[in-house]
Structure 1
Amino acid sequence: MSSRSPLILESNRRSFLVGALVAGGGALGLSACGSGSPSGAAAESPGSGGALESVTLGLIPITDVAPVYLGIQQGYFRDAGIDLTVQMAQGGAAILPAVMTGDFLFGYSNVVSLLIAADKGLPIAVVSNGSSSTNTPGEDVTEVAALPASGISGPLDLVGKTVAVNALNNFADVTIRNSVERAGGDPDGVKFVEMPYPNMPAALERGDVDAAWTTEPFRTQILDAGGRIVASPMTDLAEDFDSAYYFTSRATLEEKPELVAGFRDALARSFTYAMEHEDEVRAIVQDYAKVTPELAETVVMSVWTPRINRDALAALGSAAAQYGVLSKEPDADALISE
């Protein structure tokens, strides 16, 4: 921790707020998936002879984070002076507190989780876009799927139904309610049930839920089992919609500006490489996301660009405030560090 007084004065308050978020969102398990040297150790930079800074990044095992793994393979993070270790988590409920306590220097989380954290006063800073919509309804990375037996064919049919989501009062709730309201339905008429993404295909098959807010590769698993897309909430809300960001703490941003800049640059190079090498994206998800070769060939891939769409963020923030997920519309300038 820096010796600068503003950060010291904030430490107790930050610890309290992190604890409150964990209690409210449920801290989920973490699992190591190392790439680089063990956390806390220094590695030697090939060619320069200088030490790399060991950095831990919290991710979730979905196709959206494929560029990070390609960037590690291509040496982009090492070029930036970073020995990157990936730590897997089930969701942002575990990643965000770990970033705030310094266990991770960077994390990946859906946009609404970060808006909620900022709304609660946590000193976080978004350093890069993470993944974006394909802009194609019915062929987006994260959508609502259902089996034909549910009788659901569109957003309006979700009223009175039970929908599985990966986190309550979060990204799924906001965007699905918006889609239902746009279709002329009651946005409060949908029942949401929280469960991990990997559990959703089986829950649909058993009839435990009527529909599921799902992302790749689980989205395609449901379609392969006879399911269909019944709502595309991201394309309903905004064009070029960003679904997730990479972020850090304000303390890291202030204490390590060169490291943050290097991480951001390495991500940008990784995004470009991923967009130009789809075959390598489909190959690498078979490893870290445990996707079968057959499934890897058919899953829908995100669009990756470092630019943050502030218009889409404003639309999402307004919807989150409207549905009571946020206490007020967010201040993008205070959240985003570019």
Structure 2
Amino acid sequence: MLRNATRTVRSRSRRTRLGILATSLVMLASVSGCGLLGGESDDSSGGGDGPLEQSKLTVSIMPTIDLAPLHLAMKNGYFKEEGLEIETVSAKSGQASLAKLIGGEVDIAYSSYSPFFLAQSKGAANLKFVADASSAAPNSTLIMAMPDSKVQSVQDLEGKRVGITALGTIIEVLVKSTMQANGVDFNNVEWVEIPFPDTAAALQNDQVDAAFLTEPFITQAEKSVGAVPVADTAKGPTKDFPTAGYGSSADFADKNPETIAAFQRVMQKATNEALADRSKIEPLLVEHSKIDADTASLATLLTFQSALDPQRLQRVPDLLLEFGIIEQAVDASQMIAQPSAD
């Protein structure tokens, strides 16, 4: 059985849902007693164009697969080569990670993109993206069901119980976009909020008819309960859709351009290496994502990213606005920290 915290959320009016999201943002903003980060500096020098304004960076992270390049960079000493020392702080979710940033606990936060854009659109924070992390690759973000489920195709989702981690997330956008592209009314769906680790059991116990999963939970659900793919959400309008990245406060990015540039150089180097040789990151998936070696070898990885493309990133707030998750348009290009010089 799922924990009592698992709750069913039926489709609600746009106004009601936005009110709930706005309340969540107020709670998120209230974590900070001092506002945005101040960007205090250290006297240190790195491998870039000038001395680093700050040599030590604190980064909030989660046990997700797309953080493999960051772990690779730390393991291989790439940050030290640039004069940087990285301290990581664990967060339970993207919203929790962003709360640590707004509260001044960390300098840089890793999260899916939804919390960043939601906070920016509501004025809860003034943020800058410092590096991309991942985008949806084919078969890496799936709607899944049991073989005998009532859901055998996207068209079968209407009127069914669909599991997602939470409303107002990238997951909601991916599922709704996939349904819309296939002519399916997503307003006639019973959304069931379930944490990823509990989703396979929810499918097996018929608590949902279908559910969204990403790796390593796709592979784990296939192995543990025999779940099968229903639809790939990384197709059509959400092909190569940006899923997660790293952000800081705008104040921190503006006051620490050389430090941010050094972080960007390291992440680009590690990302290129991870893309070129998967064998270098599979042991890191076992160590940091807490999965077994077999799952690490079988999992279909998200596409690792590092460079921030404003046109590509704009797809996220545009869809968030289309589906009513944010009320105000956001210009993604204005949220990108100045890239490092070649």
TM-score range for the pair, normalised by the shorter chain length:
0.7 to 0.9
Partner of 1:185: 184
Does structure 2 retain, via aligned residues, the 8 Å contact 1:95–1:107? yes
Residue 273 (1) aligns with residue 273 (2) = yes
Distance 1:145 1:312, change over 3 A: farther
Structure 1's consecutive aligned runs of 4 or more residues displaced over 6 angstroms after TM superposition are 24-27
Of 119, 126, 147, 1:117 maps to: 119
Distance 1:226 1:309, change over 3 A: farther
Partner of 2:58: 56
The CA distance in 1 between the partners of 2:318 and 2:55, in whole Å, is: 39
Residue 21 (1) aligns with residue 25 (2) = yes
Partner of 2:208: 209
Partner of 1:128: 131
Partner of 2:77: 75
What's the TM-score once normalised by structure 1's chain length? Answer: 0.81
Distance 1:230 1:310, change over 3 A: farther
Query: Which letter does structure 2 place at the counterpart of 1:252?
Result: F
Q: Secondary structure at the match of 1:326?
A: coil
The CA distance in 2 between the partners of 1:85 and 1:330, in whole Å, is: 31
Partner of 1:218: 217
Give the number of aligned pairs.
302
Query: Which letter does structure 2 place at the counterpart of 1:207?
Result: D
Kindly provide the CA deviation profile for residues 128-165 of structure 1, in whole angstroms up to 9, marking residues without a partner as x. Answer: 1111222x2xx2x2222111222212222221122222
Kindly provide the CA deviation profile for residues 169-199 of structure 1, in whole angstroms up to 9, marking residues without a partner as x. Answer: 2211122111111111112122222232222
Partner of 2:107: 105
How far off is 1:231 after superposition?
Answer: 2.0
Distance 1:149 1:311, change over 3 A: farther
Q: Secondary structure at the match of 1:207?
A: coil
Q: Secondary structure at the match of 1:212?
A: strand
* Runs (5+) with no aligned partner, structure 1: 1-16, 28-39
The CA distance in 2 between the partners of 1:151 and 1:246, in whole Å, is: 39
The CA distance in 2 between the partners of 1:102 and 1:325, in whole Å, is: 26
Partner of 1:13: none
What's the TM-score once normalised by structure 2's chain length? Answer: 0.80
* Runs (5+) with no aligned partner, structure 2: 1-20, 32-39, 47-51
Kindly provide the CA deviation profile for residues 268-307 of structure 1, in whole angstroms up to 9, marking residues without a partner as x. Answer: 1110111122012111111111111111110011222323
How far off is 1:334 after superposition?
Answer: 1.7
Query: Which letter does structure 2 place at the counterpart of 1:98?
Result: K
Aligned-residue CA RMSD (Å): 2.9
Does structure 1 retain, via aligned residues, the 8 Å contact 2:136–2:243? yes
Partner of 1:4: none
Residue 195 (1) aligns with residue 200 (2) = no
Partner of 1:33: none
- Equivalent residue runs for 1:163-312 within 5 Å: 163-224=162-223, 225-312=225-312
